[in-house]
Structure 1
Amino acid sequence: MSDVQSSDASDVPVSPQDSQPTQVPAGPNLESRDIATVKAPRWRRYLIRGLKVLACVVGLWLLAAYVILPALWKHYEHQPGLENAPKTTLTPQGIPGDPLNVGLIGGEKVLVHAMLSSGWDPADPVTLRTSLRIAGSVLRDKPYPDAPVSSLFLFGRKQDLAFEKPVGNSASHRHHVRFWKSKEVGRNGDPLWLGSATYDRSVGLSHLTGQITHHIGPDIDAERTALMTDLRKEGWLTELFQVTGVGSTLLGRNGGGDLYYTDGELTVGVLALKGDKEAKFARLANPVAIQIKQQFWSAIRPLLESLPAQ
């Protein structure tokens, strides 16, 4: 039987065409499929490379913005104990208030004498009588050089001392500063007073609580400089230095919702025992990184000054 089957298979005629290998026509579908097969890995490689570059850029930005630059822009070499000190005041409602931007090293009597002789008046305490008097000063545009200032809190208590410098006739415009005695002392052993110096530009309603309050001007660095300049002119400063305060802030808001901006430095002055315009004065230098930051801040300051105060 096997011989018959083998003979039948070999007797089947085979045409010349059947003996040729099968050719698959190269149509357009096959060409496009080949091109896609070649190009897909290339685009995939480009995509992967692009994602890697993007991840590196984002990683470097996060490292610089949240680790390197904050570390470079923090310095407490002249007063190390202030590193862990508060950086802003609090309102009676516990809302962050005006940032701390000044400090004075000296005894209380010396501080008061220095402020008075530099043209600053002590603020009256807040009572019903003084509240009515400041309201009359604002409404009738009458002077009230000792007008009270509202209470802000630091170290769990309201300000220990407050001073002001009137601008114009009404109590609605004035320079003012609050001081709190801290637990820190200067290199000379005298107490360190932390303060917040701001400019009252108007009286109105708080943007956050609706209460009647003074609205501050946004440039709190100018107030910091003005206070130290007044003390320096009268010979009350023997030394001046800076440490990191609230940090660089472009669009900050205080407890009343008022806008402020600052380079973030806290300027500390060492008080002399008595005013002496001929006394020696030293200004301690900031680290190089802080000096570079200050140059950058000076470059953008004109833009900040053009912003509305609201």
Structure 2
Amino acid sequence: MRRKTVSATLSVLLVIGIAYGAVAYFALPEFWTVHDRHLADRISNFLTTTPQGIPGDPINVGLVGTKEEMLRAFAKAGWSAADPITLRSSIDIGLSVALDRPDDDAPVSTLLYEGRRQDLAFEKLAGESADRRHHVRFWKTAVLDNDGRPLWLGSASFDRGVGFSHDTGQITHHIAPDIDAERNNVIDSLLEAHVISSVDEAVGIGKTTDGHNGGGDPYFTDGMIKIGVLVPEDATAASSPQAGPNSD
């Protein structure tokens, strides 16, 4: 009798799990794709989308520099490059959250900008696990400065915890609503690391008080993009102490 009860319970749990997966990862994303399809022509040039075409996080930060300079700058500022999404990295971030242990290079979800997924992503933990973290995605653009270095446009936000998407029910991070604070944090941390030579502003999506990202999280912003110019790699090398002729 006990075996029958356990077997029946497991069967019910399996059915519930399959039903949840079908609804959260297939049916509802498709619904929101159709629901928001009419928004496609109105999506700002400075707004990302989810792979399903749902409006995502706005572009709010930019950096000018080579890929190598980007990697060096964030490493010097104490940020880690995010791992790509794989089965292993997904398991690792799940264990990080469940066991409250660090995962400095946990993956970030995919967002699209102008039809492309992010080229780079960086993060910095704000606690013991990947549950709470600063993170930013970047897309390389065709815009070049006078030295031929590209402009990278990014979307920065703060993950305040893990939960279920308000729109689809999928397991996801929820962002803090003040995305300007996270934009400023990215630039400030790079300034403190002395890897930015100058900062300017450009108009992004414009002032928004009731925005919602792809997970249904609310956000507000002044709609500006802060753009930093990274210190050239050769300038950094030139300013580093040089070893003397008798050094080991």
TM-score range, shorter chain: 0.7 to 0.9
The alignment yields a C-alpha RMSD, in angstroms, of: 1.6
Aligned to 2:204: 245
Pairwise mapping of residues 180-191 of structure 1 onto structure 2 (< 5 A)? Answer: 180-191=139-150
Note if 1:202 corresponds to 2:169: no
Unaligned runs of at least 5 residues, structure 2: 1-43, 240-248
Paired residues in the alignment total 194
Identity of aligned residues (%): 53
Q: For residues 204 and 187 of structure 1, what CA distance do their matches in structure 2 show?
A: 45
Structure 1: which 5+ residue stretches go unaligned? 1-84, 280-310
Q: How does the TM-score come out when normalised to structure 1?
A: 0.60
Larger Rg: 1
Give SS of 2:93's match: helix
Question: What code does the residue aligned with 2:166 have?
Answer: H
Post-superposition offset of 1:190: 1.2
SS of 1:269's equivalent? strand
Deviations, residues 82-127 of structure 1 (Å, cap 9, x unaligned)? xxx8211110110010000000001110111001111100111101
Q: Structure 1: how far apart are the matches of 2:127 and 2:70?
A: 25
CA distance in structure 2 between the aligned counterparts of 1:138 and 1:263, rounded to whole angstroms: 32
SS class of match (1:196): strand
Q: Find the counterpart in structure 1 of residue 84 from structure 2.
A: 125
User: What SS does structure 1 have at the residue aligned with 2:198?
Assistant: strand
Partner of 2:127: 168
Determine the structure 2 residue equivalent to 1:103. Answer: 62
Compute the displacement of 1:187 (Å).
4.1
Normalising by structure 2, what TM-score?
0.75
Residue 41 (structure 1) aligns with: none
Deviation at 1:184, TM superposition (A): 1.3
In 2, the alpha carbon distance for the partners of 1:216 and 1:258 equals: 7
Q: Deviations over 1:252-277 (max 9, x none)?
A: 1011100101001001001111486x
2:75 aligned to 100, 112, 116, which one?
116
Q: 1:109 & 1:213 partners in 2: Cα distance?
A: 30
Q: Which runs of 4+ in 1 moved over 3 A?
A: none
Per-residue deviation, 1:208: 1.1
CA–CA separation in structure 2 for the residues paired with 1:221 and 1:154: 19
**Structure with the greater relative contact order (CA < 8 A, sep ≥ 6): 1 or 2?**
2
Question: Which residue is equivalent to 1:136?
Answer: 95
Q: 1:259 matched to which residue of 2?
A: 218
Q: Does 2:116 match 1:157?
A: yes
